[in-house]
Amino acid sequence: MTDRTSSSHTSPCWDDGLRSSLDPQRTTDRDVRCPATHPLDVFPLGASIPGGYRVLERVGSGGMSVVYRGWDASLDRPVAIRVARSDRRQGGWRARFVQESRRAATIRHPNVSEVLHLGYVGDVPFVVMDLAEGGDLRQWIHTEGTMPNLDDAFPILRGLCHGLQAIHDAKLVHRDIKPENVLLSERGTPMIADFGLCWDLTKPPELLPNDIEGTPAYLAPEVITNSVLWELAPRIDIYALGIIAFELLTGSLPFSSQPRARYGLLQAHVYETPASPSSINPSLGFAFDRLFGQVLAKSALMRFASPLEFLLALENARTRHAPKTIRPARERRFWEPTLAK
């Protein structure tokens, strides 16, 4: 598993301040002689960092962080180590990184990526998490191609709904639900990660930024028009969950039949009606069209009230449209109905 998301940034990386602040007991000669060679690298590969962790290989990166496969020497197991990118550290980043990690750590649920440890190399914080051996859901979608297999997609959707429900139950709004932020365990269990934009609903409303935060393809209309109602804020995530479900069940995005500029995409979220999923994937029935009409409703008020309510509707739509097959009479017992699922 190597990083597929890195870009060609020419930022400073393993700076002298960081290097000298490493615990000398743990720093090997190799770490000092072999600085990182990739512009995104914050830690040199092979470095030992406080807490008994060794940095092995870069497995991912996003807009804010770099993630490494690491080794936990004390428990003798692989872990993931996440650290802020050195070229994205603007005012207050340290406090935000710590706050985000603490918020993520409040949730213990099999479908939410678990934060195991918050440590520092000098004054640079890093978090240690469970390593997602299955990569992220974006990579899964690439491998799966455009012909989705519903039997594979449904367990992922189910896990996502449960994970998001746990996040909302903890009074948090994730605000960046998208396939890149859904990690998969070796067995394919989805785990929601990256709480970088998360809102805490127990705190006074956070000032809405002038800039639109989030990823254009997954942005709810009220985020784009800057008209979020604080009490309906979790429905921002439900909209994004609906877009992922659309993607998993049809193999395409509801508003991206052609490559669009960012502005066109934002306009589409606010004004356009998405394609009906059954017209893209005929194995989905009309019940799915109704369901997506509701989860992608322009008004947050009209959307499903919770991820579990959405899951229930998904399961109902699937049951209603599961292909019915008639088993030959000799295979049937006298008490069974004629139609078997």
Active-site residues, by number, are 176
d(CA 149, CA 68): 31
115, 105 contact by CB (below 8 A): yes
Does 131 bind ligand ADP (CB under 6 A)? Our answer is yes
Number of residues that bind Mg ion (CB under 5 A): 3
Sign (positive/negative) of CA torsion 216, 217, 219, 222?
A: positive
Shortest separation between residue 335's beta carbon and ligand ADP, angstroms: 50
Does 86 bind ligand ADP (CB under 6 A)? Our answer is no
Shortest separation between residue 259's beta carbon and Mg ion, angstroms: 22
Q: Which residue blocks in the chain are alpha helix, DSSP H? A: 16-21, 29-33, 93-105, 137-144, 150-169, 221-224, 234-250, 262-271, 277-280, 286-295, 307-321
Q: Which of 80, 112, 217, 248 binds ligand ADP (CB under 6 A)?
A: 80
155, 188 contact by CB (below 8 A): yes
Q: Which of 60, 190, 216, 274 binds ligand ADP (CB under 6 A)?
A: 60
CA-atom Rg of the chain in angstroms: 22
Binding mask 164-203 for Mg ion (x = CB under 5 A): -----------------x------------x---------
Longest CA pairwise span in the chain (Å)? 79
Does 214 bind Mg ion (CB under 5 A)? Our answer is no
Q: Which of 51, 53, 82, 295 binds ligand ADP (CB under 6 A)?
A: 82
d(CA 251, CA 29): 49
d(CA 122, CA 161): 38
- Select from ligand ADP, Mg ion, none the partner in contact with residue 311, using the beta carbon and a kind-dependent cut-off of 5 to 8 Å: none
Shortest separation between residue 336's beta carbon and Mg ion, angstroms: 49
Number of residues that bind ligand ADP (CB under 6 A): 22
Binding mask 156-195 for ligand ADP (x = CB under 6 A): ------------------------xx-x---------xx-
48-49 and 199-200 strand pairing: unpaired
Does 197 bind ligand ADP (CB under 6 A)? Our answer is no
Q: Which part of the chain contacts ligand ADP (CB under 6 A), choosing from 54-62, 102-110, 311-319, 323-331?
A: 54-62
**Of 70 and 254, which has the nearer Cβ to ligand ADP?**
70
Q: Which part of the chain contacts ligand ADP (CB under 6 A), choosing from 130-138, 152-160, 296-304, 316-324?
A: 130-138
Identify residue 265 by its one-letter amino acid code: L
156, 191 contact by CB (below 8 A): no
d(CA 139, CA 180): 8
Does 64 bind ligand ADP (CB under 6 A)? Our answer is yes
Q: Which residues bind Mg ion (CB under 5 A)?
A: 62, 181, 194
